[in-house]
Amino acid sequence: MKLLTGEILSNEKYSDNLYKMEIFSPYICKNATAGQFINVKCSPEGVLDPLLRRPFGIFNIEKKFNVFSMLYRVKGRGTKFISGLKSGDMLDFAGPMGNGIDLNGNENNILLIGGGIGIAPLYLIAKVAGEMKKNVFFAAGFKDNSYLRWEKDLIELKINYAVLTEDGSWGEKGLVSDYVWNNMKSFKNFDIYCCGPRDMLKTLQNIYKDRNNKVTALLEERMACGVGVCAGCVVKLRKGKKGFSYKKVCKDGPAFNLGEVIFD
């Protein structure tokens, strides 16, 4: 993990609030694995407002070109700032952070379930699993068609996928969790990675409660340091029969066994 500045090669607008930024960084490309994130300073040099760095899952790594990318939604002041950065500008970031996903011990079948911007870190997992010749299926759900441009990235992976939208404007109409439920039999021997809104994760937790699939959730929480020091980004996990403990998303995660997560 290092503090770095990397040149922005592109900051492409996918739709109103969705952007993909490509950053030149041999260090990240050499050291990062799928599931890890970077922590980005989202204010100009020397300016301390917005104050905190923002964590972004690594969306893609192109080792050959020493370029990695992040797909992000403009939600507040921090993401608004970086959406205004241009190619040639330098990005102040630290990484790679968090624990990467090790796909070696997995089933040969991998199902990725993403909701909204939750697809971002799953994309790299899908890519790596594909490169390992695993059978990969990506189920992605959105409110509307604002992520449409992302389908182009997905097609590049040459994997099977399904897109669902709540308004039916792209792919099938419905929720991604319903899609998973309806196709339960086809995904029987799949290891699952999911990332997305809390409600989606809660539903998936219920669906897989009494099943044997290994289900891993990539979680998100408000973060201050990103390196495991401040204990700000904790999530509640089951401990023993009735107990719980708080684990840090940044250092213990961001991937957790979905069955152990307590959604209060």
Considering the complex, what minimum distance in angstroms separates the CB of residue 138 from another protein? 29
Going by C-alpha positions, the residue among 120, 114, 113 that lies closest to residue 79 is 120
C-alpha distance across the termini of the chain, in Å: 32
Enclosing H/E stretch for 154: helix 150-156
Long-range own/partner contacts, residues 168-176 (CB < 8 A, 24 or more apart): 169/144, 169/145, 170/142, 170/144, 170/145, 174/141, 175/141, 175/200, 175/203, 176/113, 176/114, 176/115, 176/139, 176/140, 176/141, 176/200
| Beta carbon nearer to another protein, 32 or 129 | 32
The correct pick among 11, 21, 41, 159 for binding another protein (CB under 8 A) is 41
Considering the complex, what minimum distance in angstroms separates the CB of residue 215 from another protein? 21
Going by C-alpha positions, the residue among 55, 49, 17, 43 that lies closest to residue 222 is 55
Tell whether residue 231 is a contact of another protein (CB under 8 A): yes
Going by C-alpha positions, the residue among 22, 18, 42, 25 that lies closest to residue 96 is 25
| Beta carbon nearer to another protein, 207 or 217 | 217
The correct pick among 49, 64, 185, 240 for binding another protein (CB under 8 A) is 49
Tell whether residue 221 is a contact of another protein (CB under 8 A): yes
User: Which span (43-51, 113-121, 144-152, 155-163) binds another protein, by CB under 8 A?
Assistant: 43-51
User: Which span (49-57, 108-116, 188-196, 207-215) binds another protein, by CB under 8 A?
Assistant: 49-57
Tell whether residue 233 is a contact of another protein (CB under 8 A): yes
The correct pick among 234, 238, 259, 260 for binding another protein (CB under 8 A) is 234
Applying CB under 8 A, which residues contact another protein? 1-7, 9, 24-27, 41, 48-53, 66, 90, 92, 94, 221-236, 244-246, 264
